[in-house]
Chains A and B, each alone.
With several copies, the nearest count.
Chain A
Amino acid sequence: MAVRIVFLGPLRDLAGVAERDAPAPLDWATLLETVGPQLAEQLREERVHVACAGKVLADKTALLARDGEEVALLPPVSGG
């Protein structure tokens, strides 16, 4: 098994895919490396959040996704 990375909103356009898999475990440094420099730059921005296993991380740099977990990359929202 692996970790699934899900790209939301404009990050999906940048990634060119809705989701992709990466080897587990996945930490912050490996995530940045995995998604490439352009997305990594976005992820470092304060207004971009990261969720792991259905929970938004208070500190995204503390990410540690295990086998079978899903990591979602969440750019600024706009509903309503």
Chain B
Amino acid sequence: MARKSRCCPRSAVARLALSGAADVRLLEAGLSVGEALAAFNAAHPQAGGVASFLGKVRPSAGDSPVKALELTHYEPLTLPGMEHLAEQARKRFALDGVLVWHRIGVLTPGEGIVLVAAAARHRRGALEAVDFLMDHLKSAAWLWKREKRGIGWHWIEPRAEDHAALARWQ
């Protein structure tokens, strides 16, 4: 069984009919923030506020220019884990809707890695949900990230502050 065939990501661009209260995707190709948020906003007309966060590939890490970033996932765990996380956020922050999209594969600087959005009655809930989702995606989702800089690829591990950020929610 080839690794590739187990993966069934959908394109961000092709389908902008969002699925219900939680839209969770692993994407192999570009992540269009404008289209995604326009669709998410339209899908939740009754929400008082929509908060979002887009994480992008930075052009450098410390002094070294980053040439590329690669994200690996594990099909049986990664998407189900993200769906569970989105559901947790939806309940905890009484969200009208939640969007969690994560790129996989090889990305170049400036490209979007992750987009999360939360629609809620009040702004506090929407902003906190985005914070919660990002903290969990950063160090508790089944994704592995490496950067190509200097003489080769370097695996990234969550920093102590990422673990501390996660602990805030427990």
Contact = CB atoms under 8 A, between A and B. Distances in A.
Partners in one complex: yes
Contacts of A6: 74
B155 A79 contact: no
A54 B157 contact: no
B11 interface: no
A78 B74 contact: no
Interface residues of B, number: 26
Q: Report the interface size class on chain A.
A: 20 to 34
B72 A78 contact: no
Contacts, number: 68
Nearest to B78: A79
Contacts of B156: 78
Nearest to B113: A80
The residue among A18, A56, A70, A80 with the most chain B CB atoms within 10 A of its own CB is A80
B166 to A, nearest CB: 11
Nearest to A53: B76
A72 interface: yes
Contact of A80 (B72, B76, B134, B157): B134
Contact of A79 (B3, B77, B137, B146): B137
Interface of B: 3, 55, 71-72, 74, 76-77, 102, 113-114, 123, 134, 137-146, 155-158
Q: Across the A-B interface, give the 4 residue pairs with the lowest CB-CB distance, nearest first.
A: A9-B144, A79-B143, A80-B138, A54-B76
